[in-house]
Amino acid sequence: MHSHTLPQRHALTIALLAAAAVAGSPAMAKEVTDADIVNDAKTPGDVVSFGLGTQGQRFSPLTAVNAKTVKNLVPVWSMSFGGEKQRGQESQPVIHDGKMYVTASYSRLFAIDAASGKKLWKYEHRLPDGIMPCCDVINRGAALYGNLVIFGTLDAQLVALNKETGKVVWKEKLGDYAAGYSYTAAPIIVKGKVITGVSGGEFGIVGRMDARDALTGKMVWTRPTVEGHMGYLWDKEGNKVENGITGTTNASWTGDLWETGGAATWNGATYDPDTNLIFAGTGNPAPWNSHLRPGDNLYSSSTVAIDPDTGKIAWHYQNTPHDGWDFDGVNEFVSFDYKGKDGKIVKAGGKADRNGFFFVNDRTNGKLLNAFPFVNKITWATGIDLKTGRPNYIEEGRPGDPSADADGKKGKVVFSAPSFLGGKNQQQMAYSPQTGLFYVPANEWAMDIWNEPVSYKKGAAYLGAGFTIKALNDDYIGTMRAFDPTTGKMVWEHKNYAPLWGGALTTAGNLVFYGTPEGFLKALDAKTGKELWKFQTGTGIVAPPVTWEQDGEQYVGVVSGWGGAVPLWGGDVAKRVNYLEQGGSVWVFKLHKG
């Protein structure tokens, strides 16, 4: 009897081990590869990059949920982030191997079973006192690579966790939080490197992009985004080697203000494998008071294209030279095939800038191909000159110089549109190769803005400006707009009473999904803008939706939780949103089969 038991037990052990492996035990977990990331847009069974593909189009080829069936979309599960730490939730979930990884306010990260909503683990970063995030305690998401999930924190650290267990594998410092550095963007992975920027432009930090080995956290290169600062490369032995000064010192900044020049890369980046370039948007030059820093102030309020192998800037395009309105230029640069007016297809990128203009650049060299307004009211420029690529400024639209004032305390107040919160801000647009349209969550608002004297002090706000935000229309601020990038024409719009602050998703099912601060996740017809479906999540949505396929069914997911920059600013806008309640949940939907 005993002689038979051992082989049977041995066979049972093998069977159990095999079952455990199939079930995805930590030892046998599926790793995320470079190929998975590059092909993300074409593989609807997962979402392994910010933007549903490194190019940032936020387009899904899935068609089960479509203009005809979307009326049958129902909730499958909802999971609360819990605790007292609600605040704004701007995270885009990533999904791999049946698991969802989603970040939350105050630098938290959750792993969830994507089909059932069961919480698998959570990581809560211990934040020090004295952090200085500019615009709420948000986070926009994590990156996946190998067996790691990687995200940045409000005290400017980058943390890599084992994606099965939530245990810390490595942790690296991005900047000194006491000097105003923080981090809120979703990192991206390019050729095994984790690519990050920095936040803190309101504190006179120096913007830059970094590349680290994604598996170890070791530095590969760093590239500043303010003229005059040195870039560095790290050799195989870990030695730091100078990699060239960014720009020519004092060519576009007079004096020494470039040393605390801002140009924060706070909204992350996109990557285009066709051209092998990383595209990062840069923020406002510091301080806001433009009279203190004559010149273009490179590379602030720009798009910079960076070689991922060397960290060198391949090209740049400045959307707002000598920015005096805090327009930033951090808005995502989305790669797409542009059909020019001559009918030729060009490798291009689109950017709906905070300054109110939509820019189309050749992504191989930065040449401006088209530029047009995507909001109705712009007071700082009459347009963008397509030959020179520069704005046609309206000089009286620039806030006045305080030193010209009799007591030197306050420059001339100007009414300016858009407001510094932008024609579009962090809320991500989407592009459909099917319709050829960009779907832009836009806002129509303005501000009174004035300049004040200011000097740099480490860790102190470095603005030199005051402002009040104003609504331009009684019936709406936010509006989802569809634009043809070739003609610059708006094809349709769908207005919203409160500002739009959540991103868009478009699908081959002829749909555009997006959320509103009033709490609705909505689906519109991608060709006509007609509202086809909506669901009330119970708190405002300021995050981008995602969609994926699992076990033969299409899922749609979104994080809800009102917050972000909008409720922090006063004026007319505060009156429109101060009744909205905070929250913090993930919602997941699929088609009801009945």
Q: What is the pLDDT of residues 351-390, one digit of tens each?
A: 999 999 999 999 999 999 999 999 999 999 999 999 999 9
More confident residue, 132 or 380: 380
Radius of gyration of the chain (CA): 24
pLDDT band, residue 51 (cuts 50/70/90): very high
Q: Which residues contact 593 (CB under 8 A, 6 or more apart)?
A: none
Q: For residue 498, which of 585, 578, 582 has the smallest C-alpha distance?
A: 578
Strand pairing report for 357-362 and 345-352: antiparallel
Residues 6+ apart with CB under 8 A from 305: 275, 277, 278, 279, 313, 314, 315, 316, 363, 366
Residue tagged active-site, from 326, 328, 353, 362: 326
Strand partners, 362: 348
Query: What kind of architecture, by CATH, is found in domain 31-119+132-151+160-241+260-288+296-591?
Result: 8 Propeller (2.140)
Number of Cβ within 10 Å of residue 309's Cβ equals 14
Average pLDDT of the chain, as a whole number: 93
Beta-bridged to residue 438, according to DSSP, are 431, 483
The rounded distance, in Å, linking the Cα atoms of 521 and 528 is 18
Partners of residue 358 on adjacent β-strands = 352, 372
pLDDT of residue 381: 98
The pLDDT-based confidence of 22 (bands split at 50, 70, 90) is very low
Q: What is the pTM of this model?
A: 0.94
Question: How many CB atoms within 10 Å of residue 570?
Answer: 12
Structure-block tokens of residue 374: 């995507």
Give the angle subtended at the CA of 510 by the CAs of 505 and 512, to the nearest 5°: 30
How far apart CA 579 and CA 16 sit, in angstroms, is 55
Contacts of 14 (CB under 8 A, 6+ apart): none
Annotated catalytic, 155? no
Torsion (CA) 157, 103, 303, 298 in degrees, nearest 10: -30
Question: Residue 449 corresponds to which tokens in the numbers above?
Answer: 């803005």
Domain ranges of the chain: 31-119+132-151+160-241+260-288+296-591
Q: What is d(CA 136, CA 120) in angstroms, rounded to the nearest whole number?
A: 27
- Kindly report, residue by residue over 176-208, the tens digit of the pLDDT: 999 999 999 999 999 999 999 999 988 989 999
